[in-house]
Amino acid sequence: MSSQRTKAELLRRLHRRGEPLVLVNVWDAVSARIVEELGFPAIATTSAGISWLEGFADGERIPRERMLSGVARVTQCVQVPVSADLEAGYGPSSEDAATTARGAIEAGAVGLNFEDWDERHDSLMDVDAQSARIAAIRKAGQQADVPLVINARTDVFLQGLGDNDAWRVQEATKRGNKYLEAGADCVFVRASPTSGR
């Protein structure tokens, strides 16, 4: 597959309503090659896996540059599109998010998972601030002529926020819609680890 733009467009086409795209998480060149050889049409990196491999805990403890080096090791050994789990962008500002997006493109990724949980303050990012950060990522992709596939993750359920599921559904829906308006391609509402028990 030739250009990053072509890979980004393919990754976007693989996201079809009613036909969920299964992305297997990888953390190094070996796991990436195995997943590609198994026939998966795209690959995702795992922030936890790359962090642990580098000797860091998950949750943006790893420096941005080390995470992006891990992503580059994956993209350099496979031909399929790669979406990178880049946590909450390694900094609170829109420029931090844009810098991370540009780094992802330089590392060869064509999509990214982008969370709204702020580890520094142990809370969700302000929804308008997060929307601005998503818009900055979209702009960075446009400037590089790589239409990044942005998977906006909200951690309303994962963090068990609010008093009940009705509130969580309302908050996750509000956030998801704002993120789509800001330029995200899809929304990931991660469940609580205790869901279904």
CA distance 164 to 143: 42
CA distance 71 to 103: 10
- The domain ranges of the chain are 4-189
Q: Determine contact, residues 36/44, Cβ cutoff 8 Å.
A: no
Beta-strand relationship, 111-115 and 149-154: parallel
Point out the residues of the chain with pLDDT beneath 50. Answer: 1, 196-197
CA distance 82 to 42: 6
Best CATH choice for the domain 4-189 from the list 3.40.50.2300, 3.40.50.2000, 2.60.40.420, 3.20.20.60: 3.20.20.60
Amino acid letter for position 119: E
**What pLDDT does residue 190 have?**
87
**What pLDDT does residue 1 have?**
45
